[in-house]
Structure 1
């Protein structure tokens, strides 16, 4: 693995090249352990938080659709509310597993959450908003009010 940045250690500059003929000291071995993928790979197992999920917004003449990518969830994990023209979508999920093997016990737990909010335009009929979850995509249907729907062009005759 190549070191991209030289970081000072104990007041000295770190060399990216090491004399391969000599055996590493204990401290350099520990440093190498965490500079290689093992250190970051080990620590990344504990990062089970969720970033903000990606959202697609589609509109046609009658409605809006929000598509939110949230794989690995259940329908019951979502909390969707509309209050004062603000649509809030949130989820909170925690998991805990215990594995016992001989003299070693490993206990892992994870917690993830997110919250997305959207200010709804006046054209949305908020009483008829509905949602469905399928194949990791949460789809929220936002119908437009009748007066906001696009009307076909009307020909006006001149008299």
Structure 2
């Protein structure tokens, strides 16, 4: 499962639009990563070890109940709903409001043959949503063994 993107940009100062045009991302009409409020998407780190893939989503200030994590036919989707709390008390006048929660959705294609989808787990701690995707036994690295020479 390759989750990193390589850049073929031969001239670092040239805009990356050329890379996106030639690799098809510019014309990706099925992109399901979006934010409904023109804000930035939460940053995501994807790591892999011998036993699992780990996805960390930076989402400080949110609660675990603000997230929805689903898996359907090889697609892992992480989303959060828009919450705009406008509670005002009698006699209060808000002159500036900057508190709000933004809605977003991030989706990842996950190979059914590599991941035990029934054991995907998620937790939220210290502003980071952690998602663990355990690998199937058959794709885990096997220890090396010494072969006798006869």
Asked if these proteins are the same fold (TM beyond 0.5), I'd say yes
Residues 75-115 of structure 1: CA deviation (Å, up to 9, x unaligned): 111111101110000001312221554xx733868452010
Report the Cα distance in structure 2 between the residues aligned to 1:91 and 1:56, rounded to whole angstroms: 18
Which structure carries more strand by proportion?
Answer: 1
Larger Rg: 1
1:152 aligned residue: 143
Q: Would you say 1:143 and 2:134 are equivalent positions?
A: yes
Question: Which fold has the larger relative contact order, with Cα–Cα distance below 8 Å and residues 6 or more apart in sequence?
Answer: 2
Report the Cα distance in structure 1 between the residues aligned to 2:101 and 2:52, rounded to whole angstroms: 35
Which structure carries more helix by proportion?
Answer: 1
Q: 1:120 aligns with which of 110, 119, 134?
A: 110
Q: TM-score, normalised by structure 1?
A: 0.62
Q: 1:92 aligns with which of 81, 88, 111?
A: 81
1:83 aligned residue: 72
Q: Would you say 1:106 and 2:97 are equivalent positions?
A: no
2:14 aligned residue: none
1:58 aligned residue: 47
CA pair 111-139 structure 1, distance change in 2 beyond 3 A:
closer
Give RMSD over aligned pairs: 2.2
Residues 2-21 of structure 1: CA deviation (Å, up to 9, x unaligned): xxxxxxxxxxxxxxxxxxxx
Q: TM-score, normalised by structure 2?
A: 0.66
Stretches of structure 2 lacking an aligned partner (at least 5 in a row): 1-36
